[in-house]
Structures are given as C-alpha cells and as structure tokens.
Amino acid sequence: MAERDRGVTSVLNYALLLVVVTLLIAGLFVGVSDLVAGQHERTTRSQLETVGHRLAADVGTADRLVAGAGGQQVRLHSDLPDAVGGSQYRVSVTGVGGDRYELTLQSDAPDVAVSVRVRSGVGLRETTVDGGRVVVEYDPTQDELVVTDD
C-alpha cells in the first residue's frame, strides 16, 4: 500500500464509525420514545379506572342515601382530579339496561377510554360532564340521580 492510501482509510473508517453510531443513537431514541408513550398510556388508563371507581362509589352512596331518605334531597360532592396523566378527560353516563349504568371516562391525549359499571335503584340520567369536581344529586321530579359539573 502506498503512503497516500493510508489517510483515505482512516477518514473512511471514521466516517463509517460516525454512520454506525448515528444509526444506533437514532434506534435508541425511537425505542425509548415508544416505551415512554406506552407507559404514559398505561398510567392514564390506570388513573381513569381509579377515578371511575371513585365516581361509581359516590353514585352508589347517593343511591343508598336516596333509598334511606325516602325521596328527600340528596346532593353529594365528588372531588375528582381535574386531569389524569396530564390530560383533561370527560365522564359519560349511559344506561346499559335495567338498573345498570356505565360510566365511560375518556382522556384527550393519549386517547384512552375506560368504562366502569354501576347500579342505581332510582335511575341515573344519561349525561356527559368534564372531569374535576362533580355533583351527584337526586332529582325528585324525575326520580333519578344526575351527575353534573360543580
């Protein structure tokens, strides 16, 4: 090999090393970002489930209070978090059939939905509210519970 070919080999080896290192770092960033996004979604789902069960417990408590109070006014404040996983969320109440209802909690980002079932002997009005502080109250004119924003 001639003296002039040695310099080319060193530069070529250095350039190839830079390409390989760049590809490895790019792959690492892609892998870590997918891992972080997946963890964020799992965390949001877990928090929505916890909030849904808290609201379902409050609906159950209000239902028992109405049954025990004989149709008197019942108003129960439920302090739910304003956001889960750093994102706003909504709670939708829908009837499933009979005395069964479904609370669906939907976050904005990431787009995650969780459903929690609840029973109500007096009925539960279908509605949608934003997450945060809500009120579960009895409407004696319709003989049903209503979940509203506070």
Sign of CA dihedral 147, 117, 143, 141: positive
Nearest to 142 by CA among 118, 123, 116: 123
Report residue 72's pLDDT band, with 50, 70 and 90 as the boundaries.
Answer: confident
Asked if residues 111 and 52 have their Cβ atoms less than 8 Å apart, the reply is: no
Q: pTM of this prediction?
A: 0.78
Report residue 2's pLDDT band, with 50, 70 and 90 as the boundaries.
Answer: low
pLDDT tens-digit map of 18-66: 999 999 998 888 888 788 778 889 999 999 999 999 999 999 999 999 9
